[in-house]
Amino acid sequence: MNRTPHVAVVGATGAVGVEMIETLEKRNFPVGKLTLLASARSVGKKLKFKGVEHTVTELTKDSFKGIDIALFSAGGSISKEFGPIAAAAGCVVVDNSSAFRMDPDVPLVVPEINPGDVKLHKGIIANPNCTTIITLMALYPLHQAFGVKRVIASSYQAVSGTGAKAVEELDQQVRQFSAGQPITKEVYPHQIAFNVIPQVDSFLPTGYTKEEMKMENEGRKIMHHPGLRASVTCVRVSVFRAHSVAVSAEFEKPVTVEAARAVLAKAPGLDVVDDPANKAYPMPLDLSGRYNCAVGRLRLDCALDNGLCFWVSGDQLLKGAALNAVQIAEELLK
């Protein structure tokens, strides 16, 4: 791998694409050259990187000649079509969609958890689901110490997880509500302002949604823990940015709050914010724009044996997407 790689961002004008460009800059990733790619409708837009304007060009089958690393965040269908083309051109793809996550030939990586899996790539590396990443940032260190058996969790997912249009929709609905105007909705099937919608992604025959199954399926792969069992309810909430998850986890070994806190305090990429007496706990408003996730509300679970409850929040556009992708690219250079 070139020490100053030619990097492409595919889906550069999207919510995650913009964060990827900013994250490359903030982390001083040694970009030799930057190419911004998007669909025809975004061609000609200009985005700044290190003070220099870069013009967005159209994603085509010939876009990847000479590119070393391509960060993809343009949706699953684009990834499925262009990911293999990019890999065949000698480029390493870090893909933010769900297209390749469960492909046995594609590593699924959270660098704080399974950085070694990066080496197993055959041209494509998958970025996990944002809610899964944020949960595992706290769950994995606990798993290493106590051996997790099963997880029951509920997510509180921000609208920016759906994209820029969803952010606009919440903003517009709040204004409409305040002005006493009729509420218009396009992105979500129901009003999201001042509401919670217990559906993220499409339903499966089991009654779970696709999103809800990602924590079990992806968690098993990332943690190399095929026996993990997870029952999850994913909920879209009236929050602009940063996802939160309430987790009850059952472990093989006895767990105490003190022992858990000591483990979490040492965990990379995670802050412990857990001082109930002073009303201190992680909140999405505080985690927006931050690289680290945060965990709090640690307590023994009343209903599970060797069980621990905790609450974890993180910026799903950063650790849940753009930051994790850039960290994977950093691993590629090591």
Catalytic center residues: 130, 243
Radius of gyration of the chain (CA): 20
CB crowding 39-61: b at 16 or more within 10 Å, else e: beebeeeebebeeeebebbebee
Separation CA 92–CA 122 (nearest Å): 8
Residue 75: name the closest of 14, 121, 150 by CA.
14
Of all helices (H) and strands (E), which one includes residue 284?
helix 284-287
Residue type present at position 318: L
Per DSSP, the three-state class of 7 is strand
Residue 7: name the closest of 89, 90, 91 by CA.
91
Cβ neighbours around 212 below 10 Å, total: 24
Residue 96: name the closest of 38, 16, 171 by CA.
16
Q: Identify each DSSP E strand in 142-209 by its residue range.
A: 148-157, 196-197
Separation CA 242–CA 108 (nearest Å): 22
Q: Token pair for residue 253?
A: 């070994």
**Torsion from C-alpha of 71, 324, 97, 106, nearest 10 degrees:** 90
Residue 330: name the closest of 126, 30, 8, 100 by CA.
30
